[in-house]
Amino acid sequence: MDPPSLLATVHNNLLAVARSATLFDVAAVIVAVCALHSTLRAARRSLKTTKLRGPPRSNIVFGADKQIFELPDPGAIYETWENEYGVVYEVPTTLGGKKIVLCDPRALAHYYVRETWTYVLTDMVRSYFQLNYGRGILWSQGEDHKRQRKSLTPAFSQDAIRNLTPIFYYTAHKAKSAWEAMIDASGGGSTIIEVQNWMNHISLDTIGLAGFSHDFGSLDGKQTSITEIFGSPKLSAVNVGLFLLSQVFPLLSSVPTPRTKGLREMQRTIEDIAMKLLARTKKEKEEGAFDGKEEKSIIGVLLKANDSDAALHVTLEEVLAQMRVLLVAGYETTSTTMTWALLELARNPDIQRKLRQELLAFGEEPTYDQQQSSLPYLDAVVHEILRIHAPVTDLVRVAVEDDVIPLSEPVVTSSGEVVNSISVARGTQIGIPISCINRSTRLWGADAKVFRPERWLEEGGIPKKAQDIQAYRHLLTFVDGPRTCLGKSFGLTEFKAVMSVLVRNFVFEMKDGPETQVEVDRGLLLLTRPRIVGEQGTNVPLRVRRYEG
């Protein structure tokens, strides 16, 4: 089978734009045209927002955005700035803007209480979400977000995920059988498998089946508009320029491009799937369990709930939008996380062996409930991967009202004043450097950068400073507050199921020995993706053999 390449190297394209003289010229003209406008806006902001120290404007057009975008994983540079300028600092952004970056537990806790109300998506991100994924939960804010979140929450409950667990094992076993066949066909007891694409297939088919009872069949090598849309859209330099500039001019994000054609096709596919699902839930309502099987998928549960509770008001448009959101939010996050896990296990044979021992000693494949408490080392490995390799590395929001953000330790402002809180005027952008916070030496201690699952099991393994981060397991990987990842339990259960099947049955090794270098790239949605140095795209070929005791 020839797996579709599921990744776009947005990052390289961004570099191309940054180097492209024409785009710079265009941008420079635009800068001139809107200079007055931004100056006025900035002047109003600077009246109230505390002036903080921070890195210089390294690029006249893109500020430090270019520098941040060029780094596949900006955690390290955020940490350097934090060490230099303090727990909050300001970073120059595109066309004269700036954002205030929060690295302080107290500031973050304050911020997350106000997420979706005081701090909202920027216009650029919001119109991008609306255009590409519809007016679903990712796009919504305030009261509307609260209502959409409420309608979806029961479909992600403990019971719902428990019901979906057999699907997570089903896709994992499909990959297992395919790998066994590949190893047997190679005749040599082991073979090289490019695991990143396999994790893509597992993740895509899982979200199809568990999300809306549809089999995309990517594990069977099927090519569909969905596998293509996730495979092909390399953003052209022009598209990327539009993308960066649309931070300032939101309307630019609706300029039609070849990519929007692909997205329209995805929408049609989603509509077909939705119609089938609607018919199915209707039939189930009339006849009781349909095919002897009860509809369990996330969207199926949502539709059933709407049928029995008129107060939910779920429209068809919204259902279609939520389906697109599930694909976007649930697919690449999980697949890149599982790829990182296999890679770290291949790089750390002792940890891999210890995990396999725990799985074998446990015997059967852990059920949803057993996953919660009976396999502490699996749990530690999974959370250590999420800490070190958070797929969403940073987020930006904008304040829609004035606010004062308290700090747990003082910072020195640009005028040399020492303050314990900062004022933020309406219109100020706020940056959340997730990957920095997860790996900060200040918070996690001297071994913060090391992959060491044991920290989750040891007494005192999580330093007091890290414990000040008020989020799920003191990680910002799933963020916090009203927009905390709704699919956290879905993602964790899938991750654990796939690891327990694969690590129990196979041994993973670095193809060219333990010294092999790994680098980080950005995937389709700008999430971090690993690549083995020297490989194409984001290929992660590992040597895989059956575990034979």
Ligand X SMILES: *[C@@H]1O[C@H](CO)[C@@H](O)[C@H](O)[C@H]1NC(C)=O
* Residues at the site binding ligand X, with contacts judged by CB under 6 A: 73, 75-76, 79, 303, 306, 310, 314-316, 319, 389, 439, 449, 520
Block residue for tokens 């980080």: 520
CA distances from 418 to 53, 282, 493 (A): 12, 63, 46
Residue whose CB is less far from ligand HEM, 23 or 299: 299
Q: Which of 508, 498, 462, 513 is nearest to 183 (CA)?
A: 508
Structural contact between residues 503 and 352, judged by C-beta atoms closer than 8 angstroms: yes
**Is 155 among the residues that bind ligand HEM (CB under 6 A)?**
no
Beta strands 403-412 and 418-424: pairing type?
Answer: antiparallel
Please say whether the dihedral angle defined by the alpha carbons of residues 6, 11, 13 and 14, taken in this order, is positive or negative. positive
Amino acid (1-letter code) at residue 13: N
436 annotated ligand-binding residue: no
> Closest separation between CB of residue 306 and ligand X, Å?
4
Other Cβ atoms closer than 10 A to 434: 23
Q: Which of 478, 506, 507, 532 binds ligand HEM (CB under 6 A)?
A: 478
In angstroms, the CA 360 to CA 346 distance is 18
**Is 138 among the residues that bind ligand HEM (CB under 6 A)?**
yes
**Is 487 among the residues that bind ligand HEM (CB under 6 A)?**
yes
- Residue 391 interacting partner from ligand HEM, ligand X, none (CB closer than 5 to 8 Å by kind): ligand HEM
Residue whose CB is less far from ligand X, 296 or 439: 439
In angstroms, the CA 259 to CA 282 distance is 35
Q: Supply φ then ψ for residue 430, to 5 degrees.
A: -120, 135
Q: Which of 95, 108, 137, 544 binds ligand HEM (CB under 6 A)?
A: 137
> Closest separation between CB of residue 205 and ligand HEM, Å?
13
Residue whose CB is less far from ligand X, 226 or 520: 520
Contact set for ligand HEM, span 23-42 (CB under 6 A): none
- Residue 324 interacting partner from ligand X, ligand HEM, none (CB closer than 5 to 8 Å by kind): none
Contact set for ligand HEM, span 199-258 (CB under 6 A): 207
Distance of CA 188 to the CA centre of its chain: 37
The pairs formed by 175-182 with CB atoms below 8 angstroms and a separation of 24 or more are 175/201, 175/202, 175/219, 175/498, 175/501, 175/502, 176/501, 176/502, 176/505, 176/506, 178/219, 179/506, 179/544, 180/505, 180/546
Q: Which of 334, 428, 438, 528 binds ligand HEM (CB under 6 A)?
A: 334
> Closest separation between CB of residue 303 and ligand X, Å?
6
**Is 451 among the residues that bind ligand HEM (CB under 6 A)?**
no
In angstroms, the CA 199 to CA 541 distance is 12
Q: What are the tokens at 217?
A: 């069949």
Q: Interface with ligand HEM by CB under 6 A: which range of 26-34, 52-60, 265-273, 473-481?
A: 473-481
Other Cβ atoms closer than 10 A to 60: 14
- Residue 306 interacting partner from ligand HEM, ligand X, none (CB closer than 5 to 8 Å by kind): ligand X
Residue whose CB is less far from ligand HEM, 155 or 507: 155
Q: Which of 391, 433, 523, 530 binds ligand HEM (CB under 6 A)?
A: 391
Q: Interface with ligand HEM by CB under 6 A: which range of 304-312, 349-357, 436-444, 472-480?
A: 472-480
**Is 483 among the residues that bind ligand HEM (CB under 6 A)?**
yes
CA distances from 14 to 20, 66, 77, 115, 377 (A): 10, 8, 18, 29, 39
- Residue 479 interacting partner from ligand HEM, ligand X, none (CB closer than 5 to 8 Å by kind): ligand HEM
DSSP H/E element including 397: strand 395-399
Judged by the rule CB under 6 A, the positions of this chain that interact with ligand HEM are: 137-138, 149, 207, 325-326, 329-330, 333-334, 337, 391-392, 395, 477-479, 483, 485-487, 490-491
Annotated binding site for heme: 485
* Known binding residues: 485
